């Protein structure tokens, strides 16, 4: 699989500062807070017990993979779960996909959620933003062309 060429924009998951990185970058320090920022995808094939998992890419948990994070998981590009994820707080800027044999335990804030039949979700609170297709005009508001 070829890596993307050119520049792309990422945001620091420590301070929120947006900045540009090369298409092949795997990690870099944030130019604002100078803390390390992981750019590449994190793929988990076995057990991974950590304090937190943070990446500007995706978190991919394979069928036999298990992630147990004590504090938080941040994956800006999304999360794919075929194994098990356990964490108090999970944040994703992309789609979270929980496969048919996936197990999820923990609170989630994400742009979108896809749960396949057979997935198991335990003691979790999901907050998925609702984005209306277009704002509704109230009757008392003037029409856009009438000024």
Cβ–Cβ under 8 Å, residues 65 and 46: yes
The rounded distance, in Å, linking the Cα atoms of 77 and 91 is 10
Please check whether residues 51 and 119 belong to one and the same domain.
yes
Domain of 2, in residue numbers: 1-38
pLDDT tens for each residue of 61-103: 999 999 999 999 999 999 999 999 999 999 999 999 999 999 9
Are 60 and 111 within one domain?
yes
The residue whose two tokens read 């277009």 is 134
Q: How many domains does the chain have?
A: 2
* 117 vs 143, more confident: 117
Domain for residue 141, yes or no? no
- Residues 55 and 112 grouped into a single domain: yes
Rg of the chain over all Cα atoms, to the nearest angstrom: 18
- Other CB atoms within 10 A of residue 47 CB: 12
When pLDDT is cut at 50, 70 and 90, the band that residue 145 belongs to is low
Is 60 found in the same domain as 49? yes
First to last CA, the chain: 54
Q: Is residue 137 part of a domain?
A: no
Does residue 108 fall inside a structural domain? yes
Neighbours of 104 (CB within 10 A): 24
Does residue 123 share a domain with residue 66? yes
In the predicted model, is pLDDT for residue 147 greater than 50?
no
Please check whether residues 22 and 60 belong to one and the same domain.
Answer: no
56 located within any domain: yes
pLDDT for res 38: 96
Asked if residue 84 and residue 19 are part of one domain, the reply reads: no
pLDDT digits (tens, 9 = 90+) for 5-18: 789 899 999 999 99
Q: What is the DSSP code string of 60-124?
A: EE-TT-EEEEEEEEEETTEEEESSEEEEEEEEEEEEEEE-TT-EEEEEEEEEEEEE-TT-EEES-
CB contact at 8 A, 91 and 77: no
In a domain, 146, yes or no: no
pLDDT recorded at residue 3: 55
Write the pLDDT tens digit of every residue in 27-52: 999 999 999 999 999 999 999 999 99
In a domain, residue 71? The reply is yes
Residues 53 and 96 in one domain: yes
The confidence score (pLDDT) of residue 136 equals 47
Q: Pick 85 or 3 by higher pLDDT.
A: 85
- The answer to whether the predicted template modeling score (pTM) of the entire model surpasses 0.75 is yes
- Residues 80, 47 share a domain: yes
Let me know: does 100 contact 117? Beta carbons within 8 Å.
yes
Asked if residue 46 and residue 33 are part of one domain, the reply reads no
- Given a cut of 50, whether residue 20 has pLDDT beyond it is yes
Looking at the structure, do residues 74 and 123 belong to the same domain, yes or no? Answer: yes
- 107 shares its domain with 52: yes
Mean pLDDT for 53-68 is 96
């Amino acid at each position: 699989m070829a890596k993307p060429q050119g520049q792309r924009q990422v945001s620091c998951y420590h301070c929120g500062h947006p900045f540009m990185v090369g298409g092949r970058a795997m990690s870099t320090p944030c130019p604002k807070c100078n803390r390390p920022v992981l750019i590449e995808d994190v793929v988990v094939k076995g057990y991974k017990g950590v304090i937190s998992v943070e990446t500007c890419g995706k978190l991919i948990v394979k069928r036999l993979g298990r992630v147990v994070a004590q504090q938080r998981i941040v994956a800006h590009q999304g999360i794919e779960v075929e194994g098990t994820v356990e964490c108090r707080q999970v944040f994703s800027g992309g789609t979270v996909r929980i496969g048919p044999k996936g197990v999820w335990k923990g609170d989630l804030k994400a742009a979108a959620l896809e749960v396949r039949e057979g997935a198991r979700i335990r003691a979790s609170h999901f907050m998925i933003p609702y984005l209306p297709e277009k704002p509704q005009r109230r009757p008392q508001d003037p029409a856009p062309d009438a000024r």
